[in-house]
Structure 1
Amino acid sequence: MKQEQLDTYYLNKEEPNKSCLLALRDIILAQDDNITETRKYGMPCFCYKQKMCCYLWTDKKTNEPYILMVEGKHLDHPKLEAGNRSRMKIFRINPNKDIPIDEISLLLKMALDLYRKGIVKVK
């Protein structure tokens, strides 16, 4: 997918969500050289070695950004919410506060380790 198409999602957002989502994108991409960004279901999707790892989206009710962890059922973290999902969990971000970079980096490391250690198979 072309970079311009990927950028459009972020650039069409209102502040403070635009800056927040762009920062989250940078944090996710910085975790590992094997992470690539694409678009699935209209959402930015981040893949580890072509395997879906997480998405960025905004809550329809609160309009707050969140990171959706594809293999959330394997992750144990107090701020991850499963809701009515069986596989995925979300991590909410308040766009009006400092982004908890260390917490997000830890979550992403936990998620990436599922693939790196073979708990979730990568092609």
Structure 2
Amino acid sequence: MNPIQEYFYRIKEPERSTLLFLRKKILESDPENITETLSFGLPFFKYKKKMLCYLYYSKKYKQHYVSFYHGDRLDHPLLIQDGRKKFKILLIDMEEDLPVSFIMNVIDDIKQYL
């Protein structure tokens, strides 16, 4: 098992399945240009070798989230800056439907800054 797979398999269900589904959607959204690496022990997604977003867990909010690079340039009420300079996060509520289309739209919006 590679280090990225190990990261996901340390997460308990049902969070693991949700994050693996999201990972798959992000990678499939632009398979020629979006790649995945492990940076700082976290799965990072890059667009044409430039930072795009990453997945992590917030101890403060006790939820997983997607953190978007250049999120500071986007103005949307679901994205939280929370003291970050370049990133904004989207908390993932495991009790609700995953906002896949919203996440893909944010990714498309961020690509214009890369």
What stretches of structure 2 of length at least 5 have no aligned partner?
A: none
SS at match of 1:111: helix
Letter in 2 for 1:10: F
Quote the residue 2:11 is aligned against: 13
- Secondary structure at 2:60 match in 1: coil
Please report the TM-score for the alignment, with normalisation by the length of structure 2: 0.91
Supply the distance in 1 between the matched residues of 2:2 and 2:62 (Cα, whole angstroms). Answer: 24
Q: Kindly state the Cα deviation for residue 63 of structure 1 after the two structures are TM-superposed.
A: 3.0
User: Partner residue of 2:111?
Assistant: 112
* SS of residue matched to 1:80: coil
Q: Which runs of 4+ in 1 moved over 3 A?
A: none
TM-score normalised by structure 1 residue count: 0.85
Matched positions, count:
113
Gaps of 5+ in 1: 116-123
Residues 79-110 of structure 1: CA deviation (Å, up to 9, x unaligned): 11001112110011112221111111111111
Alignment correspondent of 1:26: 24
What's the Cα RMSD here?
A: 1.3
The answer on whether the counterparts of 1:46 and 1:54 sit within 8 Å (CA) in structure 2 is yes
Q: Residue 42 of structure 2 corresponds to which residue in structure 1?
A: 43
The residue that corresponds to 2:83 in the other structure is 84
Deviation at 1:24, TM superposition (A): 1.3
